């Protein structure tokens, strides 16, 4: 009997690549992989049209950032970013092709080789996103910032025909203590990365940018060993730094170690909304101040900054330095 898995029409190539040794090892060793020509070309075009029609029909809402305070929630709109949640039944009825692909288990089952994924549709979230191309971007962040979030894997589906460098909107992967890697949002390109240990941002976009994001939860995500930074981790020994680079523990350090980079990315993201920028900058600085209040922690963070200073130049994925690696 043939034991080859059966996949939905149009996603066979992606599913098989996700099962390949190269993709599996790439996720384990680097934390991310890039897959080009991921879907059947006609399916990718259909997805792009469905998403474009949804946006042009006014069915998407501005992206919001929410903070919980003693006086209630504080919300800010992220400029030029529009989104829709595929879990919305009304939205699902408007996107039958997208729903057919992303409500199945083909992709999550392939990634289950790396993660203890939960069963059914409850273990994944699908977000439809359009960047209007007026400078919209995202600051440095992790898709899984910590408990109780259960995201294990992020899968980005780019649907941007005719993308040029001047259009911007690249996702920048920031491996901990290494050079950032800039990845263009090319049509039918998929980027997969670990949600709880891959720091990243999106550069300002100057052309309409279409994206479908799939988040897949994991049963063992955010266990205590991955979430609690301790004094024993304050070492610049190569073994400890290597451990931090591959561990979700790096999330405890990133705001302080990448302080300047975080502030600049916030400024780019909210430069048209002074109130939002000042509020989020204050939240960021308060976090850094609290984390670095311990003298030994502050000293460790300064040492990390020295390492980062020598790793500031971004590597362009499409220059051939990483493609095919």
Residue-wise pLDDT for 58-85, tens only, equals 999 999 988 877 778 889 999 999 999 9
Closest CA to 201 of 78, 114, 84, 75: 78
Q: Are 131 and 60 in contact (CB under 8 A)?
A: no
pLDDT tens track for 305-320:
999 999 999 999 998 6
Residue 325 has pLDDT above 50, yes or no: no
Q: Are 254 and 145 in contact (CB under 8 A)?
A: no
245: left (phi over 0), alpha (psi -120 to 50) or beta: alpha
Residue 2 has a pLDDT of 45
In order of 185, 215, 251, 263, 301, the CA distances from 257 in angstroms are 27, 27, 10, 12, 6
pLDDT tens track for 194-231:
999 999 999 999 999 999 999 999 888 898 888 899 99
Residue 119 has pLDDT above 80, yes or no: no
pLDDT tens track for 256-276:
999 999 999 999 999 999 999
If you average pLDDT over every residue of the chain, what do you get? 90
The alpha carbon of 125 is separated from its chain's Cα centroid by a whole number of angstroms, namely: 13
Token code pair at residue 12: 């066979």
Q: How far, in Å, CA of 4 to CA of 19, rounded? A: 11
What percentage of the chain has pLDDT greater than the value 90?
73
Mean pLDDT of 237-241: 96
Mean pLDDT of 46-66: 95
Parallel, antiparallel, or unpaired for β 61-69 and 151-158? unpaired
pLDDT band for 1, please (50, 70, 90 cuts): very low
Residue with the larger pLDDT of the pair 17 and 183: 183
pLDDT tens track for 164-196:
999 999 999 999 999 999 999 999 999 999 999
Please, what is the Cα angle at 185 between 317 and 91, to 5 degrees?
150
Task: Quote the DSSP letter at residue 316.
Answer: E
What percentage of the chain has pLDDT greater than the value 70?
92
């Amino acid at each position: 009997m043939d034991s080859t898995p059966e996949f939905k029409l149009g996603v066979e190539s992606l599913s098989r690549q996700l099962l390949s040794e190269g993709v599996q090892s790439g996720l384990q060793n680097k934390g991310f992989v890039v897959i080009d020509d991921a879907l059947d070309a006609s399916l990718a075009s259909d997805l792009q049209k469905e998403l474009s029609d949804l946006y042009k029909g006014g069915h998407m809402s501005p992206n919001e950032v929410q903070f919980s305070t003693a006086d209630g929630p504080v919300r800010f709109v992220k400029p030029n970013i529009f989104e829709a949640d595929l879990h919305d039944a009304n939205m699902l009825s408007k996107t039958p092709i997208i729903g057919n692909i992303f409500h199945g288990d083909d992709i999550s089952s392939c990634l289950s080789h790396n993660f203890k994924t939960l069963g059914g549709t409850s273990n994944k979230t699908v977000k439809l996103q359009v960047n209007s191309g007026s400078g919209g971007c995202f600051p440095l962040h992790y898709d899984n910032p910590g408990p109780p979030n259960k995201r294990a894997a992020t899968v980005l589906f780019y649907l941007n025909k005719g993308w040029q460098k001047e259009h911007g909107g690249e996702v920048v992967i920031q491996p901990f203590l290494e050079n950032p890697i800039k990845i263009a949002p090319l049509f039918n390109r998929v980027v997969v990365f670990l949600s709880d240990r891959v720091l990243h941002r999106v550069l300002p976009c100057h052309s309409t940018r279409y994206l479908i994001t799939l988040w897949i939860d994991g049963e063992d995500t955010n266990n205590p060993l991955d979430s609690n930074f301790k004094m024993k981790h304050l070492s610049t020994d190569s073994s400890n730094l290597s451990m931090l680079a591959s561990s979700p523990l790096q999330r405890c350090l990133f705001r302080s170690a990448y302080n300047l980079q975080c502030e600049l990315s916030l400024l780019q993201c909210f430069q048209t909304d002074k109130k939002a920028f000042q509020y989020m900058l204050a939240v960021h600085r308060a976090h850094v101040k609290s984390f670095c209040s311990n003298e030994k922690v502050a000293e460790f963070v300064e040492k990390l900054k020295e390492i980062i200073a020598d790793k500031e130049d971004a590597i362009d994925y499409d220059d051939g330095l990483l493609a095919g690696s």
